[in-house]
Structure 1
Amino acid sequence: MAERGTSPEVDWPAQPDMSLALNHMGTFDWDLDSGRMYLDSTALGVLDLRPDEFSGTPAGLRRRMAPPEEARLDARVAQALKDGRSHYGAYVRIRRRDGSRAWAHIQGHILRNQAGRPYRIIGILRDAAHDPGDPGAGGERAEGRRRMTGVVERTTAILAHARTVNDVTDVLKDPEALSHLGAVSVMLGIVDGGRIHLVAEGRLGTYVPQIEYTRIEAQFPMSEAVRNLQPVFIGSRDDFRVRYPDLWQYIEPLTVHSGVYLPLIAQGRAIGALGLLYERDGDFTDEERNVLVALGSGIAQSLQRAILFEQEHDLAEGLQRAMLPRRIPDVPGTRIAVRYRAARAGQKIGGDWYDVVTLGDSRVGLMIGDVQGHDTDAAVIMGQLRIVLRAYAAEGHTPGTAMARASAFLRDLATDRLAACTYAEMDLGTGMLQLVRAGHHDPVVRRGDGSCHPVPMAGGAPLGLPPNTLPSAGTGGTGYPVTSLELHPGDTLVLCTDGLLEQPGTKDREEGMRALMDAVCAGPVDVEELADTLCDLVGDQGGRDDMALLLLRRRGTPTPRGGGPLRLRLAPGDPEGPATARHLIRAAVAAWGAKELTDEIELAADELMTNALVHTDGGGHVSLRMTAEGRIRVEVEDSSSALPHRREAGDWAVSGRGLLLVERLAREWGVEPRGGGKCVWCEFTVTELPPAP
């Protein structure tokens, strides 16, 4: 939306078509804040100016006005602005190129913001050379012309704010607007292919489905106006009956005696037609015809802007729908709900997104984010960023590394856009979450007992910032620290974008976060119902920003006895590291009720740890966890991208049997890339799961 006191760029400048020019009436549009002034070709002709002679500001009028005339006009405008009036008019004497002098009439409509501050003037400039007597003193004909321009100006000014086709029809159906025109009914038709679609009818009569669509070649006055690009004036009921027998059956029961059908022409083609019906008999005077033709011109321009706006919005909205995931995968042991709501204000598209990606090893990735801006570019960048982050996660990168690479990708696009994002990776067997955030607010967790709290996270900078702006302490060099959180059975993770926090009635994000937690705590347990509840909250209050929402509830699946996973750092050159790791591995396996496997798991883990320490320079990490399928999984990560391979060791060789031993002990083993390194893993089947706690 435009800032207070400024003119929205979407309707600058207001440009009526040639119909006004045929009536020797030009238009001007004056932005008081920027000082810009637009004159159409007819207005330039009235002033005898070429386009290259006009500077685009009020000062450009001095070329054709003597200083006294200029001062008198300035005083008239200043007084109208000071008095708070919405209209002003003035006759001014201009100097033509050949030295002759002529009268011109200026009529302006002043637009003000909600505080009453004037920010724009839209008006008409016409040649007054043929006004009788002294044009400055007026006269009956001059007064009629002033009334004519006043009707056009008021309607054009109101329509200048219309953004959609519905906005245009609401203005036309307004009873006050109809009374000003003396009409009892108005109809608006839009050209749709080879037909005219009747989209609005005001006051008189009832809806007639038989004429909602009419062919352009049909014998109807609206069709005739579109075909010939000329207005159709009907002066009597007999005129209706004789000229349009197919329409007469619908007109006969009404009190209508005359009518006019105006083609709505934009860029040389008919985009629709306007019909006005009257209860009086008689031909239309030249004055009335001029008013109606000028009115049709202004409506045509507003309608064209509205159609283009809706087409652009529909295109962007469809693009955003295509960029969001078409379906969310079923994730074992969880219930997931997602929602997206566009901002109500302005109806522009945005860059909010969500995604859920299933990863190997019983893991799932959850993403939510917001690209800066509310336009088609934001939606396109959002789609690219979502796919890139999804790909990095699927490749096995850690959450911090995936986020850092996504930031580099956005930076390389050179769009000058930033993005906020939260990425969470969850182990489905243990409920352990590894979360990173980039310029995003903290997530919210609702525990199984109904309590709610935010998850405090040491977040990184928004995606797209240069590397030297990213803090690196405690982040593994990625700039994005990882926060660990255990999601117990019955707990719900709430991820959302700013649209759910920045609601009317909330002063800041902190208050918005408290309101969100209150709504989550009081909401239903089922995530689909909870998502609807939160969306209803946004709908009732009228969101200022787009909103994306992702909810994940962990079902009441028994957690393996002993708690969460084990993860240890293997420092290079530390002789005690492997021994400590073996001791902790034995304790964890026993705590999980798989004591019979402790020797096999310890031996296999020791072989994998030894390979990592011997064949790489950077140490590694060892982790142990119970998967959702009831297997114990050992993972050893290192920084080398070289893949391990089995070798046949000789009878007296002291090495070369490690992977053969792992293959013999484990149910299965494998290797997968992890960022710039790799992860070697093996799994063991637990013969009997421990009972639920």
Structure 2
Amino acid sequence: MGTFDWNLDSGQMHLDATALEVLGLRPEEFTGTPAGLRPRLAPGEEARLDARVAQALKSGRGHYGAYVRSRDRDGSPGWTHIQGHILRDPHDRPYRIIGIIRDAAHDPGEPGAAGEMDEGRRRLTGVVERTTAILAHARTVNDVTDTLKDPEALGHLGAVSIMLGVVEGGRIHLVAEGRLGSYVPETEYTRIDAALPMSEAVRTLRPVYLGSREEFQQRYPVLWPYIEPLSVRSGVYLPLIAHGRPIGALGLLYTRDGDFTAEERNVLMALGSGIAQSLQRAILFEQEHDLAEGLQRAMLPRRIPEVAGARIAVRYRAARMGRDIGGDWYDVLPLGEGRVGVMIGDVEGHDTDAAAVMGQLRIALRAYVAEGHTPGVAMARASAFLRELETERFATCTYADIDLTTGMARLVRAGHLDPVVRRGDGSCHRIQVAGGLPLGLPARDPAGPGAAFGYGPGSGSEGTGYPVTSLELHPGDTLLLCTDGLTERPGGDSDTGMRELMEAVRDGPADVEELADVLCGLLGDSGGGDDMALLVLRRRGTPAPRGSGPLSHTLTPGAPDAPAMARHLIRAAVAAWGARDQSDGIELAADELMTNALVHTDGVGHVSMRLTADGRIRIEVEDTSSALPRRRAADDWEVSGRGLMLVDRLADDWGVGPRGGGKCVWCEFTIPAAPAPAPAPPDPSG
């Protein structure tokens, strides 16, 4: 029995004379470092001893011991026992190891061999424990295969090739292999009744052990041409059984000779059982995820309609947690006359109930918008609809009614993220949209606690609790609506996610499809803990044909100057749009529509005028009465009844449409095309 002293900082090792004698080393042969022990250790023992020391240092233990195979000067085998004590400084940093080296070849009952067997048993058991622990977190088949190919997992078993096959119908699909250069290229798909070891393991539900190259050649001649050029000398194919039926097979190939001991077979069977359970769980998870995602997508619009004047891209991405189904949605609704409605929302929760509520709420909000309700009224009715479902769920939502001809957008927000706009010059802004409570929550007094949510009257709120914010989108501007699944980051840091989103929008491509892909890439391959919906709309870069932006004016009962102000604005706009010669007729028709709204209704009226894409001036007067106007024949002495007759005679077209709880009466005037400039007279000088 000799001693050694190993300085970890300098790497120098001292062996006394007895230790050198135990190892069969002459003093001049020893280099004074751990590498100097190599000539007297059997192949592979140096790496195993280094791993034992490293494990002790890393785990914080104060000592370690190991039996290693050694060789005398004449090459005869033996056993050596090494035991070390680790010294650490006050900061727990190891700096020195002192210990003993003794000859264990003549221990009673060959304790060296017994120690090696105990160590091998612990090593195999540790592989099973580590692999089982890693596989417990595997959620997909790819996670399982990545674990199997990890050298730190099954690689400790000494296998040079690892193959995983999954049963699909009457075939076995090879889904994983490793390591590089050692893969046996069995076909990707094989029949279960094929004369191959993996097929036999699945077919018989029993492991297949192959202890020699001769056994490979004799039992599986079809496979032998692929085995022959490799260094493979033995192998095992384990059936993966879950709930009494085979779901796959695991193949392990080795360079060692000889059959597998009973203990090794037990360990391998335990390993196969753990892998089978993880694989079954991963398969069921992927099936459930695909079903949930399919259900989610079935509740979203099957296609996004083409909208003149804009390009629109949408994306939905499922979460990677829980049931992988949620309540995020988007929708696009053409409203005619150059208008489009876009919405995005998120129902609380990640389960099938959230998805079901989402589907009902999306259809309800879509119906309210299609009926002609203003954005604030549509949102208020959707909130009441969600309360009537009695689901105890709430939802956030943003809806925008956009006139693509003029670029005017009316936005309403219910507890949702503010939209983002990227202007044509590349600048990027979050739009502060006045907000109301999330849908489904009971309405509150605007002056009460709900004011913290932005609840309260505002422009266009109409007493609904959902104020409307106006925004102008210029040609080339991009509007982005998303749910919080796009901005949430691990640890709940939404500010970081929002900064990343704004940077990606600002620096991203102009094409909406490409930009949507870039934004989805912020989540990475694994996704996040929440599902995500995204809608990107870019107004096409064609400016209005002539003139300036739209006109909008509110008609308040009891305000005598409101009609006069509206007439003044109309006359100025008509002149700016190049129809000065028609200003009298247009002003008279608009005045009749405004008068009808003030005389025959009790609420606030709203007059707007804009230039359409086909070169017409369109005047709209909205009121809160559902009673439709009608033409009637007035005699010579009646003082009323001629308004609509005048509108019919003066305008090129007119009509009436529903607007939620009221209506909209409109008329249009065609503007003559501007005459082409006369050609310049010929120059007399030639």
- 1:143 & 1:209 partners in 2: Cα distance? 34
Q: What does residue 276 of structure 1 align with?
A: 252
Tell which structure's C-alpha radius of gyration is larger: 2
- 1:435 equivalenced with 2:416 (yes/no): no
Taking the aligned partners of 2:263 and 2:577, their CA distance within structure 1 comes to 94
Is 1:594 aligned to 2:589, yes or no? Answer: no
Query: Quick one: which amino acid aligns to residue 565 of structure 1?
Result: P
1:630 CA displacement: 1.7
1:149-168 matches, within 5 Å, as 150-168=126-144
Q: Which range moves more in the overlay, 582-591 or 531-540?
A: 531-540
| Pairing of 1:32-181 with structure 2 (within 5 A) | 150-181=126-157
Q: 1:182 to 1:491 in 2, by over 3 A?
A: closer
Which residue pairs with 1:315 in the alignment? 291
Aligned residue number for residue 41 of structure 1: none
Q: Are 1:257 and 2:210 matched, yes or no?
A: no
Shift of 1:482: 0.7
C-alpha deviation, 1:547, in angstroms: 4.4
In structure 1, what is the Cα distance between the partners aligned to 2:147 and 2:507? 42
Preserved contact between residue 422 and residue 440 of structure 1 (Cα < 8 Å): yes
- The code of the aligned residue for 1:237 comes to R
Cα displacement (A) at 1:311 = 1.3
C-alpha change, 1:356 and 1:258, in structure 2 (3 Å) is same
Matches of 1:152 and 1:413 in 2, distance apart? 51
Is residue 626 of structure 1 aligned with residue 603 of structure 2?
no
In structure 2, what is the equivalent of residue 617 of structure 1? 602
Within a 5 Å distance, the mapping from 1:170-569 to structure 2 comes to 170-203=146-179, 206-207=182-183, 211-341=187-317, 348-468=324-444, 471-474=455-458, 475-503=461-489, 508-509=494-495, 512-539=497-524, 545-559=530-544, 563-569=548-554
Contact 2:140/2:285 (CA < 8 Å) preserved in 1?
A: yes
Q: Distance in 1 between matches of 2:124 and 2:497?
A: 52
CA displacement 1:456-480 (0-9 Å, x = unmatched): 2221122222223583433222211
Q: Does the 8 Å contact 2:161/2:183 carry over to 1?
A: no
Partner AA of 2:142 in structure 1: N
2: distance between equivalents of 1:530 and 1:570? 42
Deviation at 1:301?
0.6
Q: 1:154 to 1:491 in 2, by over 3 A?
A: closer
Looking at structure 2, the residues matched to 451 and 405 of structure 1 have their Cα atoms a distance apart, in angstroms, of 35
Please give the TM-score of this superposition, normalised by the length of structure 2: 0.72
> Residue 49 of structure 2 corresponds to which residue in structure 1?
none
Instruction: Look up the equivalent residue of 1:681 and give its one-letter code.
Output: W
Instruction: Show CA shifts across 1:356-402 (max 9, x none).
Output: 32212221222233333445554454444333333322221111112
C-alpha contact (below 8 Å) 2:384/2:440 kept by paired residues: yes
- Write the distance in 1 (CA, Å) between the matches of 2:235 and 2:140: 26
Say whether the 8 Å CA contact 1:316–1:379 is kept in structure 2.
no
Counterpart in the other structure of 1:677: 662
Q: Which residue of 2 aligns with 1:585?
A: 570
1-structure distance, mates of 2:430, 2:349 = 26
- The whole-number CA distance in structure 2 between the counterparts of 1:645 and 1:416 is 46
Moved more, 251-260 or 163-172: 251-260
Provide the aligned length of Structure 1 versus Structure 2: 556
Letter in 1 for 2:210: I
1:90: which partner in 2?
none
Q: Is the 8 A contact 1:351 1:373 kept in 2?
A: yes
- The 5-angstrom pairing of residues 20-39 of structure 1 reads none
Alignment check: 8 A CA contact 1:561 1:690 kept: no
Q: Distance in 2 between matches of 1:141 and 1:609?
A: 99
Q: Which residue identity is paired with 2:468?
A: V
Counterpart secondary structure, 2:436: coil
Tell me by how many angstroms 1:195 deviates: 0.4
**CA deviation string 1:200-235 (max 9, x = no partner):** 122275556552211112222222222222223333
Partner amino acid, structure 1, of 2:376: G
Please say if residues 234 and 258 of structure 2, whose CA atoms lie closer than 8 Å, have aligned partners that are also in contact: yes
Q: Judge conservation of contact 1:560–1:592 (CA < 8 Å) in 2.
A: no
Q: Which deviates more from structure 2 when the two are superposed, residues 364-373 or residues 679-688?
A: 364-373
- Correspondence for 2:647: 662
RMSD: 3.5
Aligned-pair distance for 1:190? 0.5
Q: 1:593 to 1:263 in 2, by over 3 A?
A: same
Structure 1 residues 501 and 141: CA distance shift in structure 2, 3 A: closer
Contact 2:607-2:619 within 8 A present in 1 as well:
yes
Determine the C-alpha separation between the residues in 2 that align with 1:517 and 1:187: 45
Per the alignment, in what secondary structure is the counterpart of residue 435 of structure 2? coil
Q: What do residues 661-691 of structure 1 show as CA deviations (whole Å, max 9, x unaligned)?
A: 3222222222221112222222221223699
Q: Is the 8 A contact 1:428 1:627 kept in 2?
A: no
Query: How far apart are residue 337 of structure 1 and its match?
Result: 3.8
Q: What letter is aligned with 1:406?
A: A
Q: How big is each residue's C-alpha offset from its partner over 1:148-197, in whole Å with a ceiling of 9 and x where there is no partner?
A: 65543332222111111111112222234334334332221100011011
3-state DSSP class of the match of 2:632? Answer: coil
SS for the counterpart of 2:405 is coil
**Contact kept in structure 2, 1:428 and 1:628, CA below 8 Å:** no
2:365 match: secondary structure: helix
Name the CA shift for 1:337/1:615 in 2 (closer, same or farther; >3 Å): same
- For residue 302 of structure 1, report the CA deviation from its aligned partner: 0.4
TM-fit CA distance, 1:535: 4.3
Percent of aligned pairs with the same amino acid: 77
Relative to 1, partners in 2 of residues 1:403 and 1:220: Cα closer, same or farther, differing over 3 Å?
Answer: same
Answer yes or no: is the 8 Å Cα contact 1:184–1:276 preserved in 2.
yes
CA 1:309–1:479: 2 relative to 1, 3 Å: same
Q: Which amino acid aligns with 1:289?
A: R
Letter in 2 for 1:627: T
**Cα shift at 1:307:** 0.6
Structure 2: runs of 5 or more not aligned: 1-58, 62-113, 445-449, 677-686
* Aligned counterparts of 2:606 and 2:284: Cα–Cα separation in 1: 57
Secondary structure in 1 matching 2:440: coil
Q: Deviations over 1:108-141 (max 9, x none)?
A: xxxxxxxxxxxxxxxxxxxxxxxxxxxxxx9999
Structure 2 counterpart of 1:477, which letter?
A: G
Which amino acid in structure 1 is aligned with residue 615 of structure 2? G
Give the CA deviation at 1:298. Answer: 0.9
Q: CA deviation at 1:513?
A: 4.4
Deviations 1:626-654 (A, max 9, x none): 22222111222222223333334445544
* 1:637 counterpart residue number: 622
CA contact (8 A) 1:319 1:380 kept: no
Moved more, 586-595 or 425-434: 586-595
8 Å CA contact 2:124, 2:157 repeated in 1 = no
1:646–1:656: 8 Å Cα contact kept in structure 2?
yes
